[in-house]
Amino acid sequence: MNFLLKAATVIDPSSPFHHQTVDILIENGIIKDIDALLEVSENVEEIKLHNLHVSKGWFDSSVSYGEPGYEERETIENGLFVAAKSGFTGIALNPNTLPITDTSASVGFLKGKSSQNAVSLYPIGALTVKSEGVDLAELYDMQQAGAIAFGDYKKAIQNPNLLKIALLYAQNFDGLVLSYPQDNNIAGKGMVHEEEQSTLLGLKGIPALAEELQISRDLFLLEYTGGKLHIPTISTAKSVQLIREAKAKGLQVTCSVSAHHLYLTDQELSSFDTNYKVLPPLRTQKDIEALLEGIKDGTIDMVTSDHQPIDIEHKKVEFDNAKYGTIGLESTFGILNSILSLEQTINVLTSGRDVFKVENLSIDKGNKANLSLFNPKGTTTFSLDHVLSTSKNSAFLGKEITGNVYGVISNGKGII
């Protein structure tokens, strides 16, 4: 398909057209021309949208669907459509499927299932066989099949020697190791943040210490082994400080934070709404302020939706029995755009591409078109009407968001 974007404001500091309002001609997936005014020609679809802004395609470093094994939660086909309508041209898919993505064959299945789509799917391979934390999975073979990183989703590596070996081994092929930050011995049977609110509600708590101890351990191991470590979805003020200090030492450590940990606190739990049951648990306003500061000074490398569809049978139950997780693709831009500047929002939605080594092209003539289309203005209340996912477990229902997403142009296709 060929497209002509009319009067599009470019938000891309790496582009010579940054902050300019231009027409963008895309032919066969390539940006053919950019100018103040371009004429529509035959076989070109003209796209004129209110207050149209474009940026480099957004990348989400932590997305779960369900397929294979849990298709009732979300299929790959619908999940990629949701991602496109939410502005994401690339997603890293977590290995929490059935079977677990721990072989080159399972990585190949995901790549094949998602090919020919506007949104690029990048599998994350499990770090250990069946994500059981006992034996390393076939990391190199999975990388050769298309895996971009290795980690056990929401499962901490309790054996420090296993993580040490993984960090050493992955250096042979420049692999990126993920380590979920939770010491299970400290977390115990906790479900929410351990502080005043958990006591008032009578819910077992997970102290911030559980996250911070694990991060401290992992950073010591990284300093010893070298290699590259990514710590997904940090949530506490002390975690930010620990990673800030590690980066100052020159360690190759990166981290992400979920959008809901930048916006929601444990005060939401008073409703006992299971959509707020997430891992890590929602923390305090003090933690949010530290996380936002971490974004502004570059300690936190990226923001993820941490999109995790859970079917109603496993969410609309007693709080103790409900599964962890919230969907987030549809709401991430609107939430971030409410609390960060537009340029900060775009930066944290695209910076993960460099960390995970996926294509990251600026908006310029001759480059592939990998674009997110959006309007940063206007406020609305996020409701079920905004939810395109099969599962509806959003923690943001009823919250105010800023701006709206039109869609994407990527891989020679447009979903708008």
| Amino acid 41: pLDDT | 87
pLDDT band (50, 70, 90) for residue 1: confident
Q: What is the mean pLDDT of the chain?
A: 97
**In the chain, what are the domain boundaries?**
3-53+369-380+402-415, 57-355
Long-range contacts, stretch 157-161, CB < 8 angstroms, 24+ apart: 157/127, 157/128, 157/133, 158/133, 158/184, 158/185, 159/133, 159/134, 160/217, 160/221
Average pLDDT over residues 199-220: 97
Does 297 participate in catalysis according to the annotation? no
Annotated active-site residue in 60, 266, 287, 306: 306
Q: What is the pLDDT of residues 374-412, one digit of tens each?
A: 999 999 999 999 999 999 999 999 999 999 999 999 999
For the segment 6-37, what is each residue's pLDDT rounded down to a tens digit?
999 999 999 999 999 999 999 999 999 999 99
Indicate the CATH number for domain 3-53+369-380+402-415.
2.30.40.10
pLDDT value, residue 40: 87
Segment 114-137 mean pLDDT: 97
Helices 329-339, 76-85: inter-axial angle, 10-degree rounding: 20
Query: pTM score, two decimals?
Result: 0.95
**C-beta atoms surrounding 318 within 10 Å:** 8
Q: Which pLDDT score, from 0 to 100, does residue 372 have?
A: 98
- Give the pLDDT score at 84: 98
Give the separation between CA 3 and CA 38, rounded to whole angstroms. Answer: 12
Residue 362 has pLDDT above 90, yes or no: yes
- Confidence check: pLDDT of 42 > 90: no
Query: Could you tell me the end-to-end alpha-carbon distance of the chain, in angstroms, rounded to an integer?
Result: 13
At 141, is the pLDDT very low, low, confident or very high (cuts 50, 70, 90)?
Answer: very high
The span from the CA of 261 to the CA of 239, in Å, is: 13
d(CA 165, CA 344): 36
| Structure confidence at residue 377 (pLDDT) | 97
pLDDT at 314 over 90: yes
pLDDT attached to residue 81: 98
DSSP 241: H
Q: Pseudo-torsion of CA 355, 187, 159, 236, nearest 10°?
A: 30
Question: Residue 329: which of 258, 264, 381, 236 has the closest Cα?
Answer: 258
Q: What does the pLDDT average to over 255-281? A: 97
Q: Topology of 57-355 in CATH?
A: TIM Barrel (3.20.20)
> 3-state DSSP call for residue 228?
strand
Residue 383: predicted pLDDT: 96
Mean pLDDT of 211-239: 98
